[in-house]
Amino acid sequence: MIRRHLLSLAASTLLALGLSGTAQAEDSFIVVQSTTSTQNSGLFDHILPIFTEKTGIEVRVVAVGTGQAIKNAANGDGDVLFVHAKPAEEKFVSQGHGVARFDVMYNDFVIVGPPADPARVAGMSDVVAALTRIAEAEAPFASRGDDSGTNKAELRLWGEASIDARAASGDWYRETGSGMGATLNTGTAMGAYIMTDRATWIAFGNKGDYQIAVEGDAKMFNQYGIILVNPEMHENVKAEAGQTFIDWVLSDEGQAAIADYKVDGQQLFFPNAG
């Protein structure tokens, strides 16, 4: 009888220790809702190990389009939001889903195209004029069509050109509904123009004979921001660990890690916190 009691007590103790270990393991990571450009470019593979080594906090990234990342974060499915659509980010905070938004880094968008250049836009820096030429030529254009930060920026630029590109969906305008890497693969295969963030393009390994056709317009500026998901809205948010990550990204060390990330000698992101 005593032996059975001791065995039961030991089992209960081991179970309690196991549950405690599980709780500690769960607290040792955060979930960051982010966009495919930060993932596909390789940036996270570069900076996250540095952060984890310093703090012991693992970062698990959900890489989707910015629109979906914002929806996920608004549902409480994450601790930190790290995306690139400033008006949508500011709305996320104003609606109470996020605590505060901070600039982190920037790069720019470019339009890449085939060597045949059917719309004759190669070398242009006026993106609105270039899009107008593409539409007038009805040259194939592959869009992410996924409410991502890139897609939001692209649709804004079509709007500035007074062109309803979506009205031509399925004709010369093709919406892939996919991430940046997949859209680049699809677009290059069909000989289409594609708007992409420069970082993903630099890191993209299937360029073939494609080149950057349109670049250098201030309207193609691409700002990234970071936000702690509001723990008052979602009690599951790991606010302390999430804020630790944000503070590190905005710190001199985090900003230097971002600046140090290069592919083929080219810097992909330019830190501008503060």
Q: Rounded to an integer, what distance in angstroms lies between the CA atom of residue 127 and that of residue 159?
A: 12
Taking the C-alpha atoms of residue 178 and residue 199, their distance in angstroms, rounded to an integer, is 17
The HSE-up count of residue 260 (CA atoms within 13 Å, CB side) is 11
Task: Indicate the domain borders of the chain.
Answer: 29-107+222-271, 108-220
Q: What is the pLDDT of residue 4?
A: 42
29-107+222-271 and 108-220 in the same fold? yes
Half-sphere exposure of 159 (CA within 13 A, CB side): 7
- Give kind and range of the element (H or E) at residue 100: strand 98-113
pTM for the model stands at 0.85
**Chain centroid to CA 144:** 13
> Domain 29-107+222-271, what fold?
D-Maltodextrin-Binding Protein; domain 2 (3.40.190)
pLDDT score at 8 = 42
Give the whole-angstrom CA distance, residue 186 versus residue 188: 6
In whole numbers, what is the pLDDT of the chain averaged over residues?
90
What confidence tens digit (pLDDT) does each residue in 186-202 have? 999 999 999 999 999 99
Q: Band of the pLDDT at 27, cuts 50, 70, 90?
A: low
What CATH number matches the domain at 108-220, 3.30.200.20, 3.40.190.10, 3.20.20.70, 3.40.47.10?
Answer: 3.40.190.10
Q: How far apart are CA 51 and CA 251, in angstroms?
A: 11
